[in-house]
């Protein structure tokens, strides 16, 4: 029986192969399902998400921001992980004002856009973000109008979402131009990652979604892990998931977290830093021209069609 449990078991056991996907009736071309036309200028919004927590989203987000900054891009990180927001923690800073503070008169974008260390600018979502759905239309409009100014500050906005398939996470995913799904080779991370793809698919999402396999021991493990998820998504969801790349398991990552200095700053020559620099490169060279909704589109969707 082709139920979800069977699919997940096959996924974990690696029994789904490329051949299994050939009869899915889909185009196999790499960019067919992801092609879209740029309709706006403005910042490119990329959500970094995962099925399971603790797989490396926040470290990837913060370090991608540093890597992209080194390449001359203006990047703003939005900490949208409502349960365990910790961009602050990784940077060794703290912020009193959060995105939700914007609802208050007199609080402007400059007050919540923190110029953090290592050139990382970020906005903390803060615990109040889970109440975004309860805001009145006027309150949404106020926040939207103030946040819209971010376009002037950033070429790229990286949104560190929470893990899983909760409404808040999916809202952020749906509002972004592109999605990066982070997984580790662990079966639980893969099956939870698949659950995100399934939820994303059921909402009719069209944004390109690309996979980063974190904490791999070698290239082969990275390929095997990516293929399991790519083939399963293709066969059962008819979704074209692309591999963006991998990050090697590296003790320097743990050391940098303990020091509260991002690995790109603490150990720029480490293997994990090199992997992240190369992921930043792929993101910048492969997709830069494909801005779709931009920051304004992200805000409009997230704050429910405010105009
Ligand atoms: N490439 C890596 N190599 C070794 N440890 C890693 C790596 N990536 C992440 N970690 C470990 O995983 C922990 C959780 O990472 P984090 O970015 O906070 O995950 P998430 O945001 O998905 O919850 C880090 O504190 C670090 O110890
Ligand atoms: Mg996190």
- Tell me the domain boundaries of the chain: 2-17+41-305
**258 vs 136, which has greater pLDDT?**
258
The string of pLDDT tens digits covering residues 156-184 is 999 999 899 887 788 888 888 899 999 99
**286 vs 287, which has greater pLDDT?**
286
- In this prediction, residue 1 carries a pLDDT of 44
- In this prediction, residue 129 carries a pLDDT of 65
The string of pLDDT tens digits covering residues 194-221 is 999 999 999 988 888 999 999 998 888 9
Atom of ligand 1 nearest to the CA of 53: 23
- The DSSP bridge partners found for residue 248 are 216
Ligand 1 centroid, distance to 263 Cα (angstroms): 11
Span 246-266, mean pLDDT?
96
How many Cα neighbours within 13 Å face the side chain of 35? 5
Residue 254 CB–ligand 1 contact under 6 Å: yes
Span 135-163, mean pLDDT?
86
Label residues 150-160 b or e (16+ Cβ within 10 Å = b): bbebbbbbbbb
Flag whether pLDDT at 279 surpasses 70.
yes
Flag whether pLDDT at 88 surpasses 60.
yes
> How confident is residue 10, by pLDDT bands cut at 50, 70 and 90?
low
- Percentage above 70 pLDDT, the chain: 78
Alpha helix stretches (DSSP H) within the chain: 4-13, 57-70, 87-91, 109-112, 137-147, 167-175, 187-202, 219-237, 251-259, 263-266, 271-287, 294-302
- In this prediction, residue 287 carries a pLDDT of 45
- In this prediction, residue 27 carries a pLDDT of 26
Flag whether pLDDT at 146 surpasses 70.
yes
- In this prediction, residue 292 carries a pLDDT of 47
Give the mean pLDDT of the chain.
82
Atom of ligand 1 nearest to the CA of 272: 1
Residue 256 CB–ligand 1 contact under 6 Å: no
- In this prediction, residue 81 carries a pLDDT of 82
Residue 69 CB–ligand 1 contact under 6 Å: no
First-last CA distance in the chain = 47
> How confident is residue 18, by pLDDT bands cut at 50, 70 and 90?
very low
pTM of the model: 0.83
Task: Check if the beta carbon of residue 195 is closer than 8 Å to that of residue 166.
Answer: no
Flag whether pLDDT at 91 surpasses 60.
yes
Question: CA separation (Å) from 35 to 74, 170, 181, 289?
Answer: 25, 21, 18, 12
Q: Using CA atoms, how far apart are residues 218 and 247, in angstroms rounded to an integer?
A: 9
Residue 296 CB–ligand 1 contact under 6 Å: no
CATH 3.40.50.300 fits 2-17+41-305, yes or no: yes
Span 292-299, mean pLDDT?
61
Residue 253 CB–ligand 1 contact under 6 Å: yes
- In this prediction, residue 121 carries a pLDDT of 95
């Amino acid at each position: 029986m082709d139920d979800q449990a069977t699919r997940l078991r096959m996924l974990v056991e690696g029994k789904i192969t490329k051949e299994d996907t050939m009869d899915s009736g889909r185009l196999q071309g790499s960019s067919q399902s992801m092609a879209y036309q740029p309709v706006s200028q403005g910042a490119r919004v990329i959500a970094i998400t995962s099925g399971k927590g603790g797989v490396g989203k926040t470290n990837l987000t913060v370090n991608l921001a540093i890597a992209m900054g080194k390449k001359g891009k203006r990047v703003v990180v939005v900490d949208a992980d409502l349960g365990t927001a910790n961009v602050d923690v990784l940077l060794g800073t703290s912020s009193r004002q959060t995105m939700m503070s914007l609802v208050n008169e007199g609080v402007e974008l400059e007050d919540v856009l923190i110029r953090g260390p290592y050139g990382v600018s970020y906005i903390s979502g803060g615990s109040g973000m889970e109440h975004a759905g309860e805001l009145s239309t006027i309150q949404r409009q106020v926040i939207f109008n103030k946040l819209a100014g971010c376009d002037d500050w950033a070429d790229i906005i990286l949104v560190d979402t929470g893990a899983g398939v909760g409404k808040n996470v999916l809202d952020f995913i749906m509002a972004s131009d592109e999605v990066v799904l982070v997984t580790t080779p662990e079966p639980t991370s893969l099956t939870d990652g698949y659950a995100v793809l399934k939820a994303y698919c059921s909402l009719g999402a069209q944004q390109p979604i690309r996979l980063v396999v974190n904490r791999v021991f070698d290239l082969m493990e990275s390929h095997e892990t990516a293929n399991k998820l790519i083939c399963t998504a293709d066969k059962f969801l008819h979704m074209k998931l692309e591999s963006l790349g991998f990050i090697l398991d590296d003790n320097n990552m743990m050391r940098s977290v303990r020091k509260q200095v991002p690995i790109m700053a603490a150990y720029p020559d480490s293997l994990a830093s090199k992997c992240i620099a190369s992921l930043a490169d792929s993101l910048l060279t492969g997709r830069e021209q494909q801005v779709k909704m931009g920051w304004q589109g992200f805000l409009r969707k997230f704050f429910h069609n405010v105009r």
